[in-house]
Amino acid sequence: MAESWSFLDTVESNFRPLVVIELAKGTKEETIEWFTKRIVDKKADGGAQLLIKPLVMENGHENIYLVGASHLRLLLGAETVGLVKECNDNSMRTFTYSSRKTFKDFADDNHNFLTMAECQYIIKHELDNLRAKNEKMIPGYPQAKLYPGKSIVRRLLTSGILVQIFPLHDREELKKLRHSWYGRVRVGYQPLDEIRCYFGETIALYFGFLEYFTFALIPMAVIGIPYYVFAWEDYDKYVMFATFNLLWSTVILEVWKRICAILTYRWGTLLMKRQFEEPRPGFHGVLGINPVTGREEPVYSSIKRQLRIYLVSLPFVCLCLYFSLYVMMIYFDLEQWALDYHKENESNFSSLMLYVPSIIYAVVIEIMNRIYRYAAEFLTSWENHRLESSYQNHLILKVLVFNFLNCFASLFYIAFVLFDMKLLRQSLATLLITSQILNQFAESLLPYWLQKRHNKRMKQRTCSQKTDIDLSLAEQVNMEKEMGTYLGTFDDYLELFLQFGYVSLFSCVYPLAAVFAVLNNITEIYSDALKMCRVYKRPFAEPTANIGVWQLAFETMSVISVVTNCMLIGMSPQVDALFPDSKMDLVLTVAFVEHLLLAIKFIMAFVIPDKPRDIQIKLAKLEFESLEALKQQ
C-alpha cells in the first residue's frame, strides 16, 4: 500500500470538480495558502493528497474552491473509508486496492467504478480527517485554536472561516434520475438503486421506506374503504379491522427489517464496518486525554452533561408538554364554542364552522412542533454531547416525546376522557388532513417556489437565458451555493411516524385514515423527490445499514396502538351490549385480549427472522471466509 501511495501525483490532466469549498469573504491570504497546501500535501506529510482549484467567477466573487482527486487517490480513499463493492463472483466484499481486479466492473481506466456520490463521500471523509499536526492555531486567526489531531475543517467551520462544503450536482445524471424518478406519471417502484448512486444510502433508504410503507398501508386502506362507503358501524367488523391492523402493523415492521437487509446488502452498507466515531464539530471542553484513543482532545465531564440534561432540558421539555396541554384545553373551549354556535344558528355555514377549531388547532400544532424543534436542537446542542450519534438520540427522544403528546393528546383526551367517538373521528380526520396539507406545502412546495423565483432573479441578473444543463461550471456553483441545505431525513421520518400514529392509534374509529395516508404518501414521494433534486443543495452521501432509532420508534407506536385500540373497542356501545350484566366481565375480557395481542406481537417479532435466509447465508459465508483467512495467517 505504501508503494501505491507514492504513485499518486497531485497534478492530473483531467481535473473533475467534485466538492465545493466556500471560504468567508476576506479570509486572509496566509490562511488560504496554508489550508490549500494541507489539502494538496502528501499523505505521508499529514495532508489529504487531494486536488484543489480556485473557481474564477464572472462577478468577481472569490474564495470558492473546487476539490477533486485523482482516480488512484479515490480508489485508495475507498479502501480507507471501507467501501463494500460487488465482486466478480457476485459476493459483496470490502474494497481494497490490492484486490481491485476481483471487483465487478473494475478496470484501471474505468473512472465510473466509484459513483460520483461515493467519490464525494470519500473526499468529505478525507477533508474531515485532515488533522492539525503541530499548529497551535489556524494561521492568521490566533483565536481559532488547534491542537494535534484536531480536525482542521471542523475548526474552520466552527470559527466561521469556512462557510460551507458541499458536493456538486451532476447535471446530466440528475436529469436522467429526475426522469426515471418522477419525470413520467406512472405507478411503480422508484429507481432506488439510482437514487442510492446519486444521493447515497441514507436518502435512498428513506425513499425505500416511504415506498414500502405506502405499499404496506394499501391493504389497510382497501379494507377501510367499505367501512366508509357502506357506513359499517357493527362492532364485529370494527374488531376485525382493528385486529387485522394490529397484527398487520407488527408484520410490516418486521418485514421492513428484512427488506432493509436486502437493500443494504446490495448496496454494501450492511457489511460496512462502523468507523470510529470522532467528536462532533460543536463539541467543546477543556483539553484532556481521551481514555479510548489516548489522544489529546477536548473533554467534557459527563456529570456536567447529566446535570444539564436533568436540571435544564428535562424541566424545559416538561414545561413545553404542559404548555401543549394548555393549548389543547383552549382548543376544547373553542370546540365547545363552535358547537354552541352551531346549535344556536343552524346553517350550512355553522356546520362548516364546526371544523374550524380543529383546523386552527392543527395549524397551531404544526407551528408549535416547529418552534419546539428549534428549541430542542438548541438545548441538545447546549448539552454538549461528544458524539453525533448521542446528540441525535437525545434530540430524537426530545422531539418524539413532544410531537407525540402535541399531536395525539387531544385525541386521547377525546377518546378516553370525553368518550365522544363522533368528535374523535372528526378531530382525527381534520388533524390528519390539515397536517398533511401543511407539511406538503411547508416542506416542498414553498421551498420549491422560493427557489424557482430566486433562480429566475439570478438568471436575470446574469442576463443569461440558458437552461440548467448549459450552465457553465461557475454559474452552476454560484447557483447551487445559494440553494438551501437539506438537513437530513429527520423531519421526513418524523412526518411518517406521526402519520403512522394517526393511522394506527385510533384505526378502529376511523378506518379511512389509511386511505388518506396512502394518498398523501404517493404525493409525498413526488414532492420529496422534487425537493431533493431541485430545491436543496446536493447532500453528501451517508452510508447506513438501517433506519436506526426510527425502527424502535415505529415499533413502540405499534405497541401503544394495541392498547388504545383495545380500549376503544371495549368502549364501543356494541361491545358494551354484549355484556349487559357485568361491566367487570367486559373490562376483564378486553384486558385479556389486549395482553394476548401484545404477547402475539412480541412472539411474532421474535419468530420472524430479521434477515432473509439467503442474506443470512451470504453473511455466514463471509464470516466463515474471514475466519478461515485468519487461520491461514
Question: In the set 183, 470, 583, 596, which binds a second copy (CB under 8 A)?
Answer: 583
- 621 is an interface residue for a second copy by CB under 8 A: yes
* Residues 353, 354, 355, 357, CA torsion sign: positive
Interface positions, 552-571, toward a second copy (CB under 8 A): 563
Taking CB under 8 A as the binding criterion, the range among 34-42, 113-121, 160-168, 582-590 that sits at the site for a second copy is: 582-590
Interstrand relation of 286-289 and 51-54 (parallel, antiparallel or unpaired): unpaired
CB of 292 to a second copy, least distance (A): 4
Cell of 469: 444543463
CB of 446 to a second copy, least distance (A): 38
Taking CB under 8 A as the binding criterion, the range among 307-315, 338-346, 532-540, 580-588 that sits at the site for a second copy is: 580-588
Taking CB under 8 A as the binding criterion, the range among 114-122, 473-481, 522-530, 579-587 that sits at the site for a second copy is: 579-587
Report the distance separating Cα 281 and Cα 150, nearest Å: 10
Of 326, 382, 396, give the one whose Cα is nearest residue 552: 396
Q: How many helices (H) and strands (E) does the chain have?
A: 23, 10
- 1 is an interface residue for a second copy by CB under 8 A: yes
Task: Print the SS3 string covering 193-216.
Answer: HHHHHHHCHHHHHHHHHHHHHHHH
- 624 is an interface residue for a second copy by CB under 8 A: yes
**What is the DSSP-derived secondary structure letter of residue 131?**
B
Taking CB under 8 A as the binding criterion, the range among 241-249, 272-280, 332-340, 418-426 that sits at the site for a second copy is: 272-280
Report the distance separating Cα 79 and Cα 93, nearest Å: 11
CB of 622 to a second copy, least distance (A): 9
Question: In the set 45, 193, 234, 623, which binds a second copy (CB under 8 A)?
Answer: 623
- 633 is an interface residue for a second copy by CB under 8 A: yes
Neighbours of 85 (CB within 10 A): 20
Interstrand relation of 92-94 and 84-86 (parallel, antiparallel or unpaired): antiparallel
CB of 3 to a second copy, least distance (A): 13
Taking CB under 8 A as the binding criterion, the range among 132-140, 286-294, 357-365, 485-493 that sits at the site for a second copy is: 286-294
Cell of 124: 468529505
Inter-residue contact 297 to 288 (CB < 8 Å) = yes
In terms of Cβ atoms closer than 10 Å to its own Cβ (0-12, 13-18, 19+), residue 548 is middle
- 472 is an interface residue for a second copy by CB under 8 A: no
Of 486, 474, 540, give the one whose Cα is nearest residue 64: 474
Taking CB under 8 A as the binding criterion, the range among 99-107, 320-328, 539-547, 622-630 that sits at the site for a second copy is: 622-630
Taking CB under 8 A as the binding criterion, the range among 59-67, 148-156, 508-516, 615-623 that sits at the site for a second copy is: 615-623
- 3 is an interface residue for a second copy by CB under 8 A: no
- 42 is an interface residue for a second copy by CB under 8 A: no
- 463 is an interface residue for a second copy by CB under 8 A: no
DSSP assignment of 586-603 equals: HHHHHHHHHHHHHHHHHH
CB of 602 to a second copy, least distance (A): 9
CB of 558 to a second copy, least distance (A): 14
CB of 534 to a second copy, least distance (A): 39
- 293 is an interface residue for a second copy by CB under 8 A: yes
- 631 is an interface residue for a second copy by CB under 8 A: yes
In terms of Cβ atoms closer than 10 Å to its own Cβ (0-12, 13-18, 19+), residue 34 is middle
Inter-residue contact 302 to 386 (CB < 8 Å) = no
CB of 8 to a second copy, least distance (A): 17
- 595 is an interface residue for a second copy by CB under 8 A: yes
Question: In the set 104, 588, 596, 609, which binds a second copy (CB under 8 A)?
Answer: 588
Q: Within 13 Å of residue 294, how many CA atoms lie on the same side as its CB?
A: 0
Inter-residue contact 277 to 125 (CB < 8 Å) = no
Report the distance separating Cα 493 and Cα 370, nearest Å: 15
- 587 is an interface residue for a second copy by CB under 8 A: yes
How many residues touch a second copy under the rule CB under 8 A: the total is: 23
Cell of 633: 495467517
CB of 132 to a second copy, least distance (A): 18
- 596 is an interface residue for a second copy by CB under 8 A: no
Q: Within 13 Å of residue 425, how many CA atoms lie on the same side as its CB?
A: 10
**What is the DSSP-derived secondary structure letter of residue 537?**
P
Of 103, 265, 253, give the one whose Cα is nearest residue 616: 265
Q: In sequence order, what are the residues at sequence separation of 6 or more whose Cβ sits closer than 8 angstroms to the Cβ of residue 163?
A: 22, 23, 24
Taking CB under 8 A as the binding criterion, the range among 7-15, 46-54, 179-187, 268-276 that sits at the site for a second copy is: 268-276
Cell of 255: 418485514
Report the distance separating Cα 410 and Cα 435, nearest Å: 14
Taking CB under 8 A as the binding criterion, the range among 57-65, 228-236, 457-465, 585-593 that sits at the site for a second copy is: 585-593
Is the CB of 429 or the CB of 619 nearer to a second copy? 619
- 418 is an interface residue for a second copy by CB under 8 A: no
CB of 1 to a second copy, least distance (A): 7
Backbone angles phi, psi at 250, to 5 degrees: -65, -45
- 589 is an interface residue for a second copy by CB under 8 A: no
Report the distance separating Cα 429 and Cα 400, nearest Å: 21
Question: In the set 80, 91, 159, 350, which binds a second copy (CB under 8 A)?
Answer: 80
Site of grid cell 456553483: 477
- 7 is an interface residue for a second copy by CB under 8 A: no
- 276 is an interface residue for a second copy by CB under 8 A: yes
- 291 is an interface residue for a second copy by CB under 8 A: yes
CB of 620 to a second copy, least distance (A): 4
CB of 310 to a second copy, least distance (A): 12
538 Rama class: left (phi>0) / alpha (psi -120 to 50) / beta:
beta
Is the CB of 338 or the CB of 562 nearer to a second copy? 562
Question: In the set 193, 591, 596, 609, which binds a second copy (CB under 8 A)?
Answer: 591
- 292 is an interface residue for a second copy by CB under 8 A: yes
DSSP assignment of 488-511 equals: -SHHHHHHHHHHHHHHHHTTTT-T
Residues in contact with a second copy by CB under 8 A are 1, 80, 273, 275-276, 291-293, 563, 583-584, 587-588, 591, 595, 617, 620-621, 623-624, 627, 631, 633
